[in-house]
Every structure is written in C-alpha cells, then in structure tokens.
Amino acid sequence: MKRELICVACPLGCTVTVEYNDEEILSVTGNTCKRGEAYAKTEITNPTRSLTSSVKVNGGVLPVVPVKSSKPVPKSMLFDCMKVINSVTVDAPVKIGQVIIENILDTGADIIATNND
C-alpha cells in the first residue's frame, strides 16, 4: 500500500510518501529530515499529536497559563486529555517548564507550563 502524507512535525510541511504492507513499513520518501521519517511511521501505525491548551490560575497576573504536552499523545485521546486539563486549577506563581499534570491519562506525557504567571 502507498499513502501520501503531509509531515506536520515542523512548519515546512513536506509531502512524504510511505509504502507499507500489513506487517511493516517498506519505505519513506520525500522527507527533508529524519523527523519526517519518524512522523510517517507513527502516522501509519499510531497517529499522535502534540497538545497545547491553557490551565486556570489562582492569583496570577493573567487568569490562565499556557501548557503543552511534553511529547505527542495519541490523536484519539486529545479530547479526553482536554477534559482533564480543563478540570485543573493551579496556584500562582507558575514557572515556565513546571509540570502541571503528570503522565496525563497514562500516555507517558506530562502537561507542562509554557509561560510564567
């Protein structure tokens, strides 16, 4: 089988062609860098996405602080992760890089703050 994908691992957005059968990936072509190959492989086997959102803050300068997943989470779990993220409130001060939710829904990804508040 052959599938054409757009690599979303970086903003260049290369068109990557993957050839595969039921057992394995046979070839990946069209990618500019190694990340493209890795992206294409997971996209065929278990698509993942990095998740960014914001979390409510008590007593900060701004009412919310932006967060991201420390690594991509399964695409099918994005909305479940959002539910968890929206149920959390943290107290100020929040530091950039601070872990807000550890190992969210057992995905192995932490939810970490991406700004100070």
Residues that bind ligand SF4 (CB under 6 A): 7, 9-10, 12-14, 31-33, 35-36, 39
Enumerate long-range contacts of 62-65, CB under 8 Å, 24 or more apart. 62/117, 64/117, 65/90, 65/94, 65/100, 65/113, 65/114, 65/115, 65/116, 65/117
Among 11, 21, 24, 106, binds other proteins (CB under 8 A): 11
Among 20, 38, 44, 66, binds other proteins (CB under 8 A): 66
Tell me which residues touch other proteins (CB under 8 A).
6-13, 15, 30, 49-54, 56, 62-64, 66, 68, 75, 78-79, 82, 86, 96, 114-116
